Structure formats: structure tokens, C-alpha cells
């Protein structure tokens, strides 16, 4: 594959959260590989391995194994594999979240204890558990990046417990940035605008949310996984070496807007087909 700018030449990193070629993690992995990084990818279970293996091959990446973040033995195995292949690590992408889709609709107040725990475990604690392992391999500094959403800051329809989880994730970014700063390990987040992915399809009325963003974001469109990938490249490379604890919005500017644009049409909920 062509390596146009070599910004990441000599850097090795683990990308966690590719499910298919629509995943945000895939957009990030492509941008990193294009910039000359060596990559390792994880997958969640055999069903996704079938999709992730050819994608890894496309980028010349190796598969670091199955990872279910609720099973710490799988997380340990992935980091052991990375250590045995590379001996060290320069960056990690954490693009992992989960909540029961039955609770990503209707009222937040009806969130069950079980799904609250599961959502927090998979979508929030996993960043801390992965960072703790990455720290040991980042002997020469490093950069860790996670993915969040504006629903952490403002109430979004149906985002519910995932919004609460993303708020906790963004707070984790700040605490981890302080813990790891002395070792020149940086921890940041990209707050991406809505993108149609497997995870997003679980959110109620997602097409409506996407349309609303397209009509009302300053750039009058929604963001792509390739654009998130380019911004991730900045945060994972030495270009951002003075940046940590940051939540960077890559959302076509939607977070700056206070109300519906006067020229945006009034739209009603469009049901997913």
C-alpha cells in the first residue's frame, strides 16, 4: 500500500473495535496505515473474525486475537501477543461500546441496573483496563485514543445510559491523562458526529438523528469514518505531542450550534427500513 506522508513511520499500534468496513476504527486504521504505521487489530468473537481478518490483511496488520473486554483473560492475551510480536507499543485506539438496544430508546429513567453495569463495564471501564496494560508496553511514551459522542454533554433522544457512560468515559480520559502524563503517554478522545455503523443501528430513530445533524451542522453534512481517521492521525502522531486530556469534536461543527438552523427543514422521525 502507498505510504504518502510517513507521519507514523516506525510507530506500532493496537486498534481495538473494528467490526466491519463501516466501523470508525476501520477509518482510523486506514489513515494510520496510509501514514506508515504498523498495526495490530483485535476482533470480538469468531463471527467478527471473518470480517476483520481480510481487513487486517488489506493493511498488512496482524491479528492480536479475540478480545471481549468483559473477560480480562482475553485482554491479557491480546497484550501478551502484542508484546511477543513487537516488545513495545506506541499507540492504542479504543473504539468499543455496548448497551442493550432495548434501552437505547424511550426514557433514561427506565434503565435497568444490569444494563447500566454492562454499559459502564464495556464502554467505560475497558478504557482504564486497556490503558493499564498499554502503559507497561509504552516505555518510550505513547498516545491512547478513545471515541465519544456529544450525548455525553447534552441530552440526545434515545442515547440514554450511553450518554451517561460517555460522560464517564470523557472524565476517565482526563484522569488517565494525569496518571500517565509523566511518562509522556497522552490520552485523548474524539467526539464523532453520528455515523451509520453497526453500533449506531442500535440507537432508536438513528436516521432522524443523522438527518437532523446534516441539516443543522455548520458544514451541512455528517462526518465520515475517513475524516475521523484523519483527525485520529493527528492525535496519535507526534503532531499533537502537546495535547492530552482533550475531547476533540469531529462532527462537522454540530456541537457549536444552539438551535435548528433557520433554513433547515422541519423534519419528523423517519423510521429505519
Ligand X SMILES: NC(=O)c1ccc[n+]([C@@H]2O[C@H](COP(=O)([O-])OP(=O)(O)OC[C@H]3O[C@@H](n4cnc5c(N)ncnc54)[C@H](O)[C@@H]3O)[C@@H](O)[C@H]2O)c1
Residues making contact with ligand X (CB under 6 A): 17-19, 23-25, 44, 48, 67-70, 95-98, 122, 147-149, 192, 194-195, 197-200
Are the CB atoms for 95 and 147 separated by under 8 Å?
yes
Q: Give the nearer residue to ligand X in terms of CB position, either 8 or 67.
A: 67
- Is residue 59 helix, strand or coil? helix
The span from the CA of 269 to the CA of 127, in Å, is: 34
Angle at 119 between CA 17 and CA 134, to 5 degrees: 45
The span from the CA of 195 to the CA of 210, in Å, is: 7
Smallest distance from ligand X to CB 98, Å: 4
Are the CB atoms for 147 and 250 separated by under 8 Å?
no
DSSP per-residue string spanning 67-115: --TTSHHHHHHHHHHHHHHHS--SEEEE------GGGSSS-GGG--HHH
Annotated binding site for NAD(+): 17, 23-24, 44, 68-69, 96, 166, 195-199
Smallest distance from ligand X to CB 126, Å: 7
- Is residue 186 helix, strand or coil? strand
Smallest distance from ligand X to CB 262, Å: 26
Q: Give the nearer residue to ligand X in terms of CB position, either 36 or 115.
A: 115
Is the Cα torsion angle 152, 255, 244, 34 positive or negative in sign?
A: positive
Q: Give the nearer residue to ligand X in terms of CB position, either 195 or 247.
A: 195
The span from the CA of 35 to the CA of 98, in Å, is: 30
Closest-CA residue to 251 (of 153, 133, 179): 153
Q: Give the nearer residue to ligand X in terms of CB position, either 36 or 77.
A: 77
Q: Give the nearer residue to ligand X in terms of CB position, either 185 or 225.
A: 225
Smallest distance from ligand X to CB 179, Å: 21
Smallest distance from ligand X to CB 180, Å: 20
| Catalytic sites, residue numbers | 149, 159
Amino acid at each position: 500500500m502507498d505510504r504518502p506522508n510517513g507521519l507514523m513511520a516506525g510507530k506500532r499500534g493496537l486498534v481495538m473495535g473494528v467490526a466491519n468496513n463501516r466501523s470508525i476504527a476501520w477509518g482510523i486504521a486506514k489513515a494510520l496505515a496510509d501514514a506508515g504505521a504498523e498495526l495490530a487489530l483485535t476482533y470480538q468473537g469468531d463471527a467478527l473474525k471473518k470480517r476483520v481478518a481480510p481487513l487486517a490483511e488489506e493493511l498488512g496488520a496482524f491479528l492480536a486475537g479475540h478480545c471481549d473486554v468483559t473477560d480480562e483473560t482475553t485482554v491479557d492475551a491480546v497484550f501478551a501477543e502484542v508484546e511477543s510480536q513487537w516488545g513495545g507499543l506506541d499507540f492504542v485506539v479504543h473504539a468499543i461500546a455496548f448497551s442493550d438496544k432495548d434501552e437505547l430508546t424511550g426514557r433514561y429513567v427506565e434503565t435497568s441496573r444490569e444494563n447500566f453495569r454492562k454499559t459502564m463495564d464495556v464502554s467505560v471501564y475497558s478504557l482504564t483496563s486497556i490503558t493499564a496494560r498499554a502503559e507497561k508496553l509504552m516505555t518510550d511514551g505513547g498516545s491512547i485514543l478513545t471515541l465519544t459522542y456529544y450525548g455525553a454533554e447534552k441530552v440526545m433522544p434515545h442515547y440514554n445510559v450511553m450518554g451517561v457512560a460517555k460522560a464517564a468515559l470523557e472524565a476517565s480520559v482526563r484522569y488517565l491523562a494525569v496518571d500517565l502524563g509523566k511518562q509522556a503517554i497522552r490520552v485523548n478522545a474524539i467526539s464523532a458526529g453520528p455515523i451509520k455503523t453497526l453500533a449506531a443501528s442500535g440507537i432508536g430513530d438513528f436516521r432522524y438523528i443523522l438527518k437532523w445533524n446534516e441539516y443543522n451542522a455548520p458544514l451541512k453534512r455528517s462526518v465520515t469514518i475517513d475524516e475521523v481517521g484523519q483527525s485520529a492521525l493527528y492525535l496519535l502522531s507526534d503532531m499533537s505531542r502537546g495535547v492530552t486530556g482533550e475531547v476533540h469534536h469531529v462532527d462537522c461543527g454540530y456541537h457549536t450550534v444552539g438551535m435548528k438552523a433557520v433554513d433547515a427543514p422541519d423534519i419528523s422521525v423517519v423510521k429505519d427500513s
